[in-house]
Amino acid sequence: MRKTIAMKGREKEINVVWKDEGDGFFSGIGNGYSMVAYIKIPKDNPDAKKGYDDLNPDVNGGLTFARDLMFGWDYAHYENDMDVEKHIQNALEYFKKRYKQDAKGDKSE
């Protein structure tokens, strides 16, 4: 697994543990002021330069972080859905689908 400087920074700052999800995608879970989860996307993904307000994967409370090819969300909300693995899978499916659409020349939604 080749980690970026930003991924290593998240490891050091809030103890994120990264998992290689294949095809340049990574998922991570850490603990800052609350539990947090991240998806790191490949640099040629069509969402690479987008902000978290521009995207809508089905994750707990929506995206709250976007930087250095990483998108994240937290679990510091009232009535959280604490199924972190489900949210990670939802986010991976969302970003991978958009990546595949772009590779085919289809317009990403």
pLDDT, tens only, 67-85: 999 999 999 887 778 889 9
Cα 6–chain centre separation? 13
In angstroms, how far is the first alpha carbon of the chain from the final one?
Answer: 30
Mean pLDDT of the 35-42 span: 96
pLDDT at residue 103, rounded to an integer: 64
In the chain, beta strands by DSSP E: 17-22, 25-31, 35-40, 65-67, 70-74
Q: For 32, what's the count of Cα atoms within 13 Å in the CB-facing half-sphere?
A: 15
Instruction: Take residue 75 and report the two structure tokens written for it.
Output: 């679990």
